[in-house]
Amino acid sequence: MRTTTLGATGLRVSRVAYGTWQLGGDWGSFDEDAAIAAIRHARELGVNLFDTAQAYGFGASERLLGKALREELTRDRDSVVIATKGGVRPDGGGRDASAAYLRDGVEQSLRALGVETVDLYQVHWPDPDVPAAETAGALQEMVDEGKLRHVGVSNYDAAQMAEFAAVRPVETLQPPYHLFRRGIEAEILPYAREHGIGVLAYSPLASGLLTGRFDENTRFEDGDWRSQATAFTGDALRKNVAVVRRLADFAEARGYSVSQLAIAWVLAGVDVALVGARSSRNIEASAAAADISLSDDDLAEIGRIAADGVQIEGASPEGVA
């Protein structure tokens, strides 16, 4: 597994990280034992960065991650980098990046994960009703207290990061990024690079679209957020499925899967790709993408193919697009 230094944190992390949104209940039912096995297998493959959030199933995802990694967290804590996120009320109450709610959320996350310190704590979504100075100041206090090692943000734009950074540095950014969602390329990525901010991209597989497992007739469980998303219905789905088929042919000719191609494409532009998996087989395939190097010609051709697709949005605390 290739590794990288994650921005100003100085943390040495695997370029493919394990994300756990799919283990919080928003993606339908899953086998908990298989998910625990997948997390442990990811560690065996060299993945050392695991990302979760308080909002994923009222802390269920954090608890499952802590359970899966309990032995390693107890025996060799520094070998695993635990990242979580707060500032969203899991009861549907929306964004809350106030000092009081963040402090309570950190305490809940520490208990759920079973650790004394979170390696990377990220503000899950910018909160327009709370001054950035309050949010940043509260997190710096908890860094000073030893509850957090590093602080980042998620889903922030460049102006929001600059406002936060006026109080304390933004060390990392976690944005959505994949071939059907490239909005960060214009301003956000350049700002992150200019300021030494490590970038962990979530949804590199477009919430499953880029796995090649969907077709025009795919349907999802009622408990799966994708059942309500326009990206997975109608014309957008048809066009993007057609693009994925062409990308799959491109990938197959080079000896890898379309999922691996999509992850490798993301890694050509950011530090880390966060991938979710509910089985050991899936995380093994995703982890292998870290070893794929795409040439400039490859990237250009992938861009040409993807240009025929439809740019899509994902879920937010306010619902799904």
d(CA 66, CA 156): 27
Residue 185, both tokens: 């390329």
Active site residue 56: yes
Distances (CA, A) of 264 to 58, 195, 289, 302: 32, 24, 6, 11
Could you tell me the two tokens for 171? 């060390």
Catalytic residue among 18, 56, 101, 156: 56
The residues pairing with 83 across neighbouring beta strands, listed in sequence order, are: 51, 120
DSSP state of 104: H
C-beta separation of 162 from 243 below 8 A: no
CA 310 remoteness from chain centre: 21
How far, in whole angstroms, is CA 116 from its chain's centroid? Answer: 23
For residues 266 and 159, give the distance between their C-alpha atoms in angstroms, rounded to a whole number. 23
Q: How many CB atoms lie under 10 A from the CB of residue 171?
A: 24
Which residue in this structure is represented by tokens 């799966």? 224
How far is the C-alpha of 159 from the C-alpha of 156, rounded, in Å?
8
Backbone angles phi, psi at 291, to 5 degrees: -95, 0
Q: Are 261 and 247 in contact (CB under 8 A)?
A: yes
Positive/negative CA dihedral, 278, 283, 284, 289: positive
Q: Any alpha helices (H) in the chain, and if so which ranges?
A: 32-44, 60-68, 70-75, 99-113, 132-144, 158-165, 188-194, 234-252, 258-267, 280-287, 296-306
- Start-to-end Cα distance in the chain: 35
What is the set of active-site residues? 56
